[in-house]
């Protein structure tokens, strides 16, 4: 077999085969080539290690976490509203009004400024005249009853990684700052940025300071806090599930889409942002009302609580 001179085939035992000479040659040549390639395989090049993050000891860095459906399953206002309703905090006329406003919002499917103002003002009227300390005390109880078991372990681990690296970790949410502060404290985080309801002498006036901390307002809050804390935003990380938080995510050097909605998922892929999804299903149900429907008031989850109670009857 003249062409067999190209290979040293002495190691292959000769015996009769029902194959043609050419197929025998092809098979033996392939076997020899396989042996040589396995013996002479070049060393596997290791992919460059991903830079350590978060960076231990980087005092110019911090992490900012959205709350609803990022740190905790569902909306904080929804869970808080459930607790307040259970404690007979609202009159039935308030519940009826909230129920109608919630239905209107769902049917309209848009954030109409005038309607949002009506919802916000109605919710604020419920806390007007109540003491901040009273709502804080109730909030502690409600956290234990409805919120503690709804924290996503995966997101909690991300926050802990920043804490372990010596960095500060802040919640950034449209929920009332009192509610957000309770949750941050229970999770061992640094603190919280949230919607501020005006109070005088420790009593709610029924007005907001500015507007709900939603969308662009979150980005402004992060920017202001970073300036006050001496942070370098290019070193910081931000985490959210909602496209409404793209302004905040775009501020930092390390944006993460956590349990993202479809718009944020698409944007994150286009921008090369990292994604994490801790839900059991791609379209996991989001418990609670849309953020815009109840932001800005300590009792903003009341409308959802009404709907829940009525369905149970």
Provide the CATH number for the domain around residue 205: 3.40.50.1000
**Confidence class for position 121, pLDDT limits 50, 70, 90:** low
Res 141: pLDDT: 94
Residues with catalytic annotation? 66, 68
- Is 135 among the domain residues? yes
- Is 306 among the domain residues? no
Query: Structural domain tally of the chain?
Result: 1
Of 69-83, 163-177, 209-223, minimum mean pLDDT range: 69-83
- Is 2 among the domain residues? no
- Is 46 among the domain residues? no
- Is 89 among the domain residues? yes
Q: Which residue has the tokens 């290690």?
A: 49
Average pLDDT in the chain: 76
**Confidence class for position 236, pLDDT limits 50, 70, 90:** very high
Share of the chain above pLDDT 70, in %: 66
Average pLDDT of 278-294? 43
- Is 313 among the domain residues? no
Q: Which residue has the higher pLDDT, 193 or 110?
A: 193
Res 108: pLDDT: 47
Of 95-109, 191-205, 242-256, minimum mean pLDDT range: 95-109
244 CB-contact burial (10 Å; exposed 0-12 / middle 13-18 / buried 19+) = buried
Share of the chain above pLDDT 90, in %: 43
**Confidence class for position 123, pLDDT limits 50, 70, 90:** low
Determine the angle formed by the axes of helices 76-86 and 302-312, rounding to 10 degrees: 60
Q: Are 165 and 58 in contact (CB under 8 A)?
A: yes
- Is 54 among the domain residues? no
pLDDT higher than threshold 60 for residue 302: no
Structural domain of 211: 62-278
Average pLDDT of 88-104? 61
- Is 17 among the domain residues? no
Q: Which residue has the higher pLDDT, 304 or 188?
A: 188
Residue 60 to residues 54, 77, 236, 270, Cα–Cα distance (Å): 11, 32, 8, 28
């Amino acid at each position: 077999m003249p062409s067999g001179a190209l290979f040293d085939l002495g190691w292959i035992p000769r015996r009769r085969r029902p194959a043609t000479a050419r197929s025998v040659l092809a098979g033996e040549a392939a076997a020899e080539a396989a042996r040589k390639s396995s013996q002479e395989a070049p060393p596997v090049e290791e992919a460059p290690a991903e830079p350590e993050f978060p960076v231990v000891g980087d005092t110019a860095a911090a992490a900012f976490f959205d709350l609803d459906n990022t740190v905790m399953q569902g909306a904080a206002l929804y869970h808080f509203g459930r607790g307040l309703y259970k404690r007979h905090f609202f009159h039935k006329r308030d519940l009826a009004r909230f129920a109608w406003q919630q239905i209107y919002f769902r049917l309209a499917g848009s954030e109409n400024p005038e309607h949002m103002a009506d919802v916000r003002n109605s919710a604020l009227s419920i806390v007007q005249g109540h003491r901040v300390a009273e709502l804080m005390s109730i909030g502690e109880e409600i956290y234990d009853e409805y919120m503690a078991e709804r924290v996503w372990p995966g997101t909690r681990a991300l926050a802990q990684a920043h804490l372990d690296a010596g960095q500060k970790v802040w919640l950034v949410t449209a929920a009332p700052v009192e509610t957000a502060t309770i949750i941050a404290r229970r999770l061992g985080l640094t603190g919280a940025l949230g919607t501020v309801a005006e109070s005088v002498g420790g009593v709610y006036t029924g007005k907001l300071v500015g507007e709900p901390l939603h969308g662009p307002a979150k980005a402004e809050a992060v920017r202001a806090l970073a300036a006050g804390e001496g942070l370098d935003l290019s070193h910081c990380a931000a985490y959210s599930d909602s496209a409404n938080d793209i302004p905040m995510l775009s501020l930092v050097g390390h944006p993460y889409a956590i349990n993202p909605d479809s718009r944020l998922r698409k944007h994150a892929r286009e921008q090369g942002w990292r994604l994490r999804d801790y839900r059991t299903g791609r379209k996991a149900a989001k418990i609670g009302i849309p953020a815009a429907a109840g932001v800005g008031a300590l009792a903003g989850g009341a409308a959802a609580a009404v709907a829940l109670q009525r369905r149970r009857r």
